[in-house]
Amino acid sequence: MRAMALMAVVPLTLNLMACQSSPESMPRIVEKLDLERFMGDWYVVGNIPTFIERGAHNAVETYELDGKDRIATTFRFRDGSFDGPIKVYRPTGFVSNESNAIWGMQFVWPIKAEYLVLFLDDDYQRTIIGRSKRDYVWFMARKPEISTAEYDEMLSVAADAGYDTSLIQKVPQQWPEP
């Protein structure tokens, strides 16, 4: 039984090790992030997905302050379709600079994946999270849908940060009307 559990953890650990920061040039990050305003639900509306996110529908990342520099995170989505099984991950974010825009996101101890807040609109309604390696990026919004103009602006920001925007995919979001 223990060997089976180890076999399940090893691939995840190896993939997360690949997510650690590298000596790539640091993209421009937001100057100052108000952590309290940033907390709450963020719908993932576009991304270059990690292996666990491929096929994600209704992806939502939720942040909650857990101390001064710790962020309790819940990432949940439906796997493969809108009625697929719900997947939930609970990494911890660790704020690592004065601007609050650089975090280490820890899925498995002791590995912390780089998490950079590259863009945040003035109203804290849209954000882009990225990495120095430009291998993954996440477009997130407070609503499950954003306008084409807002999405195109985010694509432009990602391109300016050095991302290959042809790799960015829209994440399907379909929620009942409130």
**Opening angle at CA 159, ends 157 and 165, nearest 5:** 115
pLDDT of residue 108: 67
How confident is the model over 66-104, as pLDDT tens digits? 987 899 999 999 999 999 999 999 999 999 888 999 987
User: pLDDT per residue over 20-70, tens digit each?
Assistant: 444 468 889 999 999 999 999 999 999 999 999 999 999 999 999 998 789
Residues 151-175 pLDDT 10s: 999 999 999 999 999 999 999 999 9
How far is Cα 107 from Cα 20, in angstroms, rounded to an integer? Answer: 11
CA dihedral 112, 41, 86, 81 (to 10 degrees): -110
Two structure tokens written together for 22: 């590298």
**pTM of the shown model:** 0.84
Place 8 in a pLDDT band, splitting at 50, 70 and 90: very low
For the chain, what are the domain ranges?
25-162
Task: Please state the CATH superfamily assignment of the domain spanning residues 25-162 in this structure.
Answer: Calycin beta-barrel core domain (2.40.128.20)
The terminus-to-terminus CA distance of the chain in angstroms comes to 45
Nearest alpha-carbon partner for 143 in 47, 44, 67: 44
